[in-house]
Amino acid sequence: MISSRPHPYPGRFITFEGIDGAGKSTHIDYVTTLLETKNRKVIVTREPGGTGLGEKLRELLLHENMHPETEALLMFAARKEHLEQVIEPAIKRGDWVISDRFTDASFAYQGGGRGLERDKLRQLEHWVHPHLQPDMTFLFDVSPEIAQARLKDARSPDKFEREKAVFFNRVRTEYLHRAGEFPDRFRIIDSSLSIKSIRDILKELIGNLG
């Protein structure tokens, strides 16, 4: 069981992170079903997005070129709406929230990938959610080469998915740096493992959350 809480609410907040093609989305349905068999009410959401405004901003963020600082500001603007409308009301009620990405993605993509200073991102993080972090973050770690091979036959790629391996190496490095900063929260999962092996790991980790 987790001994300390990263927020004051009775519910749980779980985030899934990883570079594009890491396979995190494949396992969200599994974890949701697993929790529902334990009679948990689960809210599944995503970033950018999760609200009406957030989904509109998502279209801009994924398909329009913009300055890295503009990109970061829009990400956190969408996140503020997400927190106010979806995440905090749910965990206040005692529900479990699963989000496909959260603030760690901003550090990885806008920080590591785009080169935006960490201090600027920390200021935005402190401004938007100073009192709240996920209870647990699953970081699906895999090499950019494997990730891009998985994406090659996917739908029409967005602007992030079209980036080169060097970009995703920087993103991956920043994710791992972030995990090193918050080892109590992060669980790094080798995404090159079989689906069954990953599900076994997830089942054990979810059990530890209570």
Binding residues for ATP, as ranges, are: 18-25
Annotated binding-site residue numbers? 18-25
Q: Which residues of 36-73 are buried (b: 16+ CB within 10 A; e: fewer)?
A: eeeebebbebbbbbbbeebeebbeebeeeeeebeebbe
Residue 186, classed as helix, strand or coil, is strand
Which residue blocks in the chain are alpha helix, DSSP H?
24-37, 52-63, 68-82, 88-93, 103-106, 118-128, 144-151, 165-181, 195-209
How many helices (DSSP H) and strands (DSSP E) are in the chain? 9, 5
Q: Do residues 121 and 174 touch, judged by C-beta distance below 8 A? A: no
Q: Which residues pair with 185 in a beta bridge?
A: none
* Structure tokens belonging to residue 11: 């519910």
Q: Do residues 94 and 11 touch, judged by C-beta distance below 8 A? A: yes
